[in-house]
Amino acid sequence: MPTPFTHLALAEEILRDGDLIPAARRLLTAQRGPFLLGNTAPDVQTVSGQPRHTTHFYRIPPTGERPAYETLFATHPALARAADLPPAQAAFVAGYIAHLLLDEMWLFAIFRRYFLGDWAPRPERHFVHNVLRTWLDRQDQAQLDGDIGGTLRRVEPHAWLPFVGDEYLRAWRDWLAEQLEPGHESQTAAVFARRMGRSPEEMEAVLRSPALMDERVFGRVPPATLDAFRREGRE
């Protein structure tokens, strides 16, 4: 449920600071591009038009207790056998799993805890949730390495997912990479606004006002909770 740029930022932190076994670190460092793309790939439904649960392997609200990655592996067992996959695909799948784990962490630690109550009508809760995600998205995009767009563009999927065509992964890759190039901006606020039937300007009015962010967002979700989420996400 974090945005692609938050997933990318945490993926970079995992590569740099995460508690990885040596073999995993060697693989993911050597295959950084596929690993980074994998960390965003469950959101490919943005361009493929698939229902969200067909790429994320869980529903909102959850209908069971099995982690999403276990559902993915049960549905597509070949993806669970990392040793049998080409290195680039193995790194991509590792990133995909990292995305699913982080999404479910957000679902339980942030979304269900702070946005499923009755403190406001559902559209307002949805709006505040998306403002929070967009704010984090911008913080994280500013921290990303300047070469990450080019790194993503050089990734070439080859039947890496049995449930998503390569053409959609390439379109998703290029859409992300373009936003990361000099002179381009994140499309996150525009995407969220369109989904909500709101204007991007409504989101920008809050995002650009520290007072409104404190009142409407951080007064609801304590920054310390967000910091704890990020620490756990790296682990």
Q: Are 139 and 131 in contact (CB under 8 A)?
A: no
CA distance 105 to 99: 10
Region for 183 from its dihedrals, namely left if φ exceeds 0, alpha if ψ lies in -120 to 50, beta otherwise: left
CA distance 159 to 172: 15
Q: Are 41 and 95 in contact (CB under 8 A)?
A: yes
Per-residue confidence (pLDDT) for residue 117, from 0 to 100: 84
Total number of residues shown for the chain: 235
Say if residue 18's pLDDT is above 80: no
Helix-, strand-, coil-residue percentages of the chain, each rounded to 5: 70, 0, 30
Segment 74-94, tens digit of pLDDT: 999 999 999 999 999 999 999
- Cα angle, residue 159 at apex, residues 154 and 93 outer, rounded to 5°: 75
- Higher-pLDDT residue of 181 and 198 is 198
* pTM for the predicted model, two decimal places: 0.95
